[in-house]
Structure 1
Amino acid sequence: MEKIVCFGEVLWDCLPKGLFLGGAPFNGACHLRKLGCRPIVISAVGDDFLGEETLQRAQAQGLDTFAFGIKKGLRTGVAKVVLDDKGSASYVFPEPCAWDRIEISDSARAELSSASAILFGSLAARSESNAELIDSILSETHALRIFDVNLRPPHDDRKTVLALAQKADVLKVNEDELAVLAGKPFSPDDLEDAVKAVIDNTGVRKLCVTLGSKGAAFYDGRRLLTAESPPVEVRDTIGAGDAFTAAFIAGLVRGDSPQELLERACRLGAYVASCDGATPDYDSSILQG
């Protein structure tokens, strides 16, 4: 069973219809678990009700929680979510919160040497202490380094994100993030040029771009591949990108063909977009074409 370390924020999405546990690393871990991997989430929660509920729900999802820190004096993270009429979300992340002060336990550190991959994002690096911890973790593992860019204003400094991207083996972005890292406006007709610009700017070897309803593209180090997203009726887009990332990572660490893993990732991302919430129940057979 492939071990995947997921570093970063665990938080509650505050929607008009209720509170939903999420955060990109947590969502990704839940999907990786469904896909037969062993995810290890390195994060932190507050010593409060939402923190207790986070641990209980993580365990109910089949996740190990030994790498979750409990931070006294800091609240469990929340995200205030606003959905537009197309189901797309925008976010506000009150700070400071527990995941701004992640620490790594000895037991979690011991897992790094045998991990197949480590997934980290840009949002958790908004605090200096987390950014330093990411550097430390990456220096201690030979695992595949996957950087899932997650630009959420005002935590979207281009210089910081480029520096993180330079530490990665694989970069995953959406269209807007591709434009930021390329340093120029993006249109689908310019996809190949934009991908080349990001590779030149970061030195990353592999780059995956999600294109919403149009699917995704993957530069695998030799060529640019594309896959279409199956048409669905979108309920909300929360967690769809995280589901895509999980399927993409699972395929990478298992050595699946680049075209096949890209197509499966598109199918899972589309399915989650057609459901309520970031981690709906499903059978892995939905990944089959």
Structure 2
Amino acid sequence: MDIVTVGDNCIDDYSYERKSFPGGNAVNVAVYLKRYEVNASYIGVVGSDGNGKRMIESVNNQGVDVSHVLIKEGKTAVTTVVLNGGERKFTGYDEGVLRDFILSKKDIQFVKKHKIVHSAISGHCEDYFKEFQKSGLITSFDFSNEVESPLINKLASYVDYPFLSYSEDDAFIRELLIEIKNRGSKVPIATLGENGSLAYDGSNFYEIKTKDVNVKDTMGAGDSFIAGFLYGIFKNYPPEECLKIATDNAAKTITYHGAW
């Protein structure tokens, strides 16, 4: 097996448009990876409501292995979204059954059958990463825009490819990437919105600009970027090539509504 994502899923509710889409970082990354024709699996928990059924069916229809998605009595997570000129903004979040998500022993053994594992700051999976890395897995984690989160220091030694969301290429983000690298990560990466992205491998900084496209919805841009980068890692490409693939993938995502 190739790549597994663990943790969050949610229904992205564009209530003002009476539209909603399955999403969540771990779900989105798995779906985007499947488009590269790699074997992608997703592990998480959904509620016993209609949204939970929809989540499982939608992700399964994308070709992602959902055999380890747990259905728990209660509500599936829902994020309320508004758009302002194509820029998505989260205005509400009901975590539902995801609040108490843990991995079973069978889940952990299933994760270890893969080559790469990815999770995110809202996925409740940070405590497993030391074990994942010791098992020989390549590890990836999205800290989102929580650039001052204590989890960064906690996980840096156990996450090979940490992703951060920031606004610009400045001294702060470069120093942070250097610090994370010095704590044990292989290549920390920062997405910088319209200012492109940045990666550091201990010797060099790699930079790439965004592509000029017609932006309809930025939902999923960061997640598709991560998927593209991880695909490059899976193929053993160098950091600069991974950044290019990631940027191209994100550029496609923002040209339509919803994550995928």
Mapping for residues 130-141 of structure 1, pairs under 5 Å: 130-132=125-127, 134-135=128-129, 138=132, 141=135
Identity %: 23
1:114 aligned counterpart, secondary structure: coil
CA shift in 2, pair 1:76/1:253, >3 Å: same
Say whether 1:85 aligns with 2:79. no
Q: Is the Cα–Cα contact under 8 Å of residues 181 and 202 in structure 2 kept in the other structure?
A: no
- 2:178 maps to which of 181, 196, 208: 196
Is 1:231 equivalent to 2:212 in the alignment?
yes
Cα deviation per residue 1:70-92 (whole Å; 9 max; x = unaligned)? Answer: 112x2111111232335232343
* Alignment of structure 1 residues 180-191 onto 2, 5 Å: 187-190=168-171, 191=173
**Residues 94-113 of structure 1: pairs in structure 2 closer than 5 A:** 94-95=94-95, 97-105=96-104, 107-113=106-112
Equivalence map 1:1-289=2 (5 Å): 3-15=2-14, 16-17=16-17, 18-72=19-73, 74-95=74-95, 97-105=96-104, 107-125=106-124, 130-132=125-127, 134-135=128-129, 138=132, 141-151=135-145, 158-175=149-166, 187-190=168-171, 191-200=173-182, 202-279=183-260
Q: In structure 2, what is the Cα distance between the partners aligned to 1:137 and 1:77?
A: 27
Q: What SS does structure 1 have at the residue aligned with 2:207?
A: strand
Helix, strand or coil: the match of 1:263? helix
In the TM superposition, what is the alpha-carbon distance from 1:131 to its structure 2 partner?
4.6
Q: How many aligned positions are there?
A: 257
1:88-119 Cα distance to aligned partner (Å, 9 max, x none): 32343224x22223343555333333311110
Distance 1:83 1:59 in 2: 28
Q: CA deviation at 1:123?
A: 1.0
1:3–1:37 Cα contact (<8 Å) kept: yes
CA separation in 2, counterparts of 1:150 and 1:194? 14
Q: Which has the larger share of strand?
A: 2
Q: Distance in 1 between matches of 2:34 and 2:91?
A: 26
User: 1-side partners of 2:179 and 2:104: how far apart?
Assistant: 38
Give the residue type in structure 2 aligned to 1:30: V
What displacement does 1:159 show?
1.8
Q: Report the CA distance between 1:255 and its aligned residue.
A: 0.3
- Is residue 13–residue 79 contact of structure 1 (8 Å, CA) maintained in 2? yes
Rounded Cα–Cα distance in structure 2 between residues aligned with 1:225 and 1:139: 25
* Aligned mates of 1:194, 1:87 — CA distance in 2: 26
Cα deviation 1:19-56 (Å, max 9, x = unaligned):
11000000000000011111111100011111111111
Larger fraction in helix: 1
Within 1, Cα distance between the matches of 2:225 and 2:142?
A: 11
- Distance between the aligned counterparts of 2:157 and 2:99, measured in 1? 22
Give 5+ residue unaligned stretches, structure 1. 177-186, 280-289
Superposition misfits of 4+ residues, deviation over 3 angstroms: 103-110, 191-194, 197-200
Cα 1:199/1:88, change in 2 over 3 Å: same
**CA RMSD across the alignment:** 2.3
